[in-house]
Amino acid sequence: MDNRPYTTLFMLSSIDGKISTGSTDKLDVDKDFPHIEGLREGLQQYYDIEANTDMWSCCSGRTQVKIGVNERELCDKHSDVSFMIIDNHHLNEHGVRYLSSKVKNLVIVTTNEDHIALRISGLDNVDILLQEKLDLRQALEFIYKEYDCDRLTIQTGGMLNSLFLRSNLIDSLNIVIAPALIGGVNTPTLIDGDSLEDESELSLIKAFILKDCKVLNNSYIQLKYEKR
Residue 2 has pLDDT above 90, yes or no: no
pLDDT class of 198 with cuts at 50, 70, 90: very high
Residue pLDDT, tens place only, 27-75 = 999 999 999 999 999 999 999 999 999 999 999 999 999 999 999 999 9
Residue 225 sits at φ, ψ, to 5 deg, of -130, 155
At 179 the three-state DSSP class reads coil
Note the pLDDT of residue 76.
Answer: 93
* Beta strands 82-86; 106-110: pairing state: parallel
Cα 176 from Cα 213, distance rounded (Å):
10
Residue 164 has pLDDT above 80, yes or no: yes
Q: Which residues pair with 172 in a beta bridge?
A: 8, 226
> Are 143 and 149 within 8 A, CB to CB?
yes
Rounded to an integer, the average pLDDT of 85-107 is: 98
Instruction: For residue 105, give the DSSP letter.
Output: -
Rounded to an integer, the average pLDDT of 187-205 is: 95
Distances (CA, A) of 43 to 8, 147, 160, 176, 188: 20, 32, 24, 10, 19
Nearest to 117 by CA among 154, 88, 83, 155: 88
> Are 86 and 128 within 8 A, CB to CB?
no
Q: Where are the domains of the chain?
A: 6-227
Given 3.40.50.2030, 3.40.430.10, 3.50.50.100, 1.20.1050.10, which CATH number is that of 6-227? 3.40.430.10
H-run or E-run covering 101 = helix 93-102
CB atoms near residue 26 (< 10 Å)? 10
pTM as predicted: 0.95
Rounded to an integer, the average pLDDT of 163-169 is: 96
pLDDT class of 226 with cuts at 50, 70, 90: very high
Note the pLDDT of residue 41.
Answer: 98
- State CA 91 to chain mean position distance: 15
Nearest to 31 by CA among 43, 45, 49, 48: 43
Task: Sheet containing 221-227: give its strands across.
Answer: 126-130, 106-110, 82-86, 56-60, 151-154, 6-14, 172-178, 221-227, 208-215
Rounded to an integer, the average pLDDT of 173-190 is: 98
Rounded to an integer, the average pLDDT of 103-127 is: 97
Note the pLDDT of residue 86.
Answer: 98
Rounded to an integer, the average pLDDT of 66-89 is: 95
Residue 163 has pLDDT above 90, yes or no: yes
pLDDT class of 128 with cuts at 50, 70, 90: very high
- Mean pLDDT over the full length of the chain: 96
pLDDT class of 1 with cuts at 50, 70, 90: low
